[in-house]
Amino acid sequence: MPAHGAPPPEQPAEPLAPEAAPPAEPPASEAEQSAPGPTAEGARVRRRRPLATALGAAGGVVLLLAGYAALDAADVAPGPLTRRSAPTAAPLPTAPAAVVPPTAAPAVLPPLEEDAPAASEEGLAAVLGPLLADPALGPSVSASVLDATDGRALLDVQAAVPRTPASTVKVLTAAAALRALGPATVLRTRVVQGAVPGEVVLVGGGDVLLAAGAGDPDRVLGRAGLGDLAAETAAALRAQDRPVVSVRVDDTAFQGPGLSAGWAPGDVGSGFVAPVSALAVDAGRLRPAPVAPRHPDPAMAAAEAFAERLAEHGVEVAGPVLRAPAPAGAEELAAVSSAPVAEQVEWMLATSDNVSAEALGRLIARERGLPPTFDGASAAVRAEVAALGVPVDGVHLVGTSGLGRSSTVPARTLTGVLAAAASDAHPELRATLTGLPVAQATGTLAERFEQPPAAPAAGVVRAKTGSLNGVTSLAGLLRTTDGQLLAFAVMADAVPSGGTLAARRAMDRIAAVLVECGCR
């Protein structure tokens, strides 16, 4: 079960999108948004390093400035590293003092001007209308733009029409997890006494980002380590004079099938996702690599890794690892804790990891008394979004990662959640914004917005990408050159065959125009 604690959040390292490759058409699947985390061996991720944290009120909105000072070649995913400097991210709303801020030294920044010139509905429609009609987007396009400070709709182009969201659905999952679980909640992986003497049970609590060895307090992926858990367990067993044990694993915190009927048969082997499980090492990857297949049974793989670590600490493990439920009220021998939910949400958004998104969905379901299944998680996320006062008509989820093609979300729901996260009414949702990739700097936007006419948005646009075959979407937050904070979403779910790159560039141009146009 979740426990509460609040280590300072880190700025997660993020993989680059594959768009930096030559203009050959990349595979338009969520794999491009599910690159391995920052500890993957051989991965190169452009690391986001905070320069300053800004805490200054402006019309009730507090701003966060996240800067990007350096690139770490050891942490950069496939793509060029030295072509340019990463731009500085524009200010964003951040939580008030009640929420633990990043560890960078605070500095006062100029607040947003309350009387900043505002875009008008007529101005936006006139400028963006032709761009939304770009043939590269196909015939099925929606767009929504809100003033993020007051939720006022500035652009509605079929914004209530349900469309396939792809990974932009993770915006909903992120907000729902923060609201239902709480930003400071951590997930505990425990070892308890088994049903018979000489038996221990590894109990999964929903942490799918475990390290196989020692945990790393400075990372989200691998914050809790099975090596540390084994060391603590071995010490407890020595105190009981039990040098030989059998190991069992209890992964019953999640229920139902681990694989969605909406996923492609090759998604696990291709590394896009793993079966949803209550515990996993490295989000279920078989090996730490930039692209690696996932384990068909992540819980058992984690339990076997734990048994190996236990043996390394001098405990003889008798027989194979088996599944067994932990006895009610069993004595706890050891436990390790994950990074807080806020940090996990940031990591999930930055890497677009499907495994952690699905695990968070099931944790939300458990917290709200729903079955921790695909259906329960989908219903729980929808209910949390509705509780924010955001319209959910047309929201139909078949999972909480966006990998299922039959999920639908209207553009206005995405912008509604983003605007809620930016408001001072919901400081608990701030990680929904701070986890968004930054144009030309981090995550799946690191290799986008690099050429005119999209370049003006570099460092200014923060957005979640979405990509499936025939589907391209972009939803996020930006600050205009006039100082207005806008939430935006553009969705296209009938992109012409082979047109993924062109559709992305069309959306990048739309975001850049939003930054610069004024549109009054």
Is 167 one of the annotated active-site residues of the chain? yes
Is 352 one of the annotated active-site residues of the chain? yes
Residue 397, Cα to own-chain centre: how many angstroms?
Answer: 17
Of the residues 29, 337, 338, 352, only one is catalytic, namely: 352
Torsion over CA of 207, 208, 214 and 218, rounded to 10 degrees? -80
Taking Cα atoms as reference points, which of 371, 413, 402, 399 lies closest to residue 472?
A: 402
Is 337 one of the annotated active-site residues of the chain? no
Q: Tell me the two tokens of residue 483.
A: 């100082």
350 HSE (CA, 13 A, CB side): 28
β-pairing, 244-250 with 316-317?
A: parallel
Report the b/e string of 351-383 with b at 16+ CB within 10 A.
bbbbbbbbbbbbbbbbbbebbbbbebbbbbbbb
Taking Cα atoms as reference points, which of 204, 216, 219, 218 lies closest to residue 306?
A: 204
Show the 3-state SS of 385-446.
HHHCCCCCCCCECCCCCCCCCCCEEEHHHHHHHHHHHHCCCCHHHCHHHHCCCECCCCHHHC
Q: Side chain identity at 154, as an amino acid letter?
A: L
Of the residues 167, 260, 277, 356, only one is catalytic, namely: 167
Of the residues 144, 170, 401, 464, only one is catalytic, namely: 170
Backbone angles phi, psi at 429, to 5 degrees: -95, 5
What is the Cα–Cα distance from 133 to 249, expressed in whole angstroms? 54
320 HSE (CA, 13 A, CB side): 4
Give, for 250, the enclosing helix (H) or strand (E).
strand 244-250
| Residues recognised as catalytic | 167, 170, 352
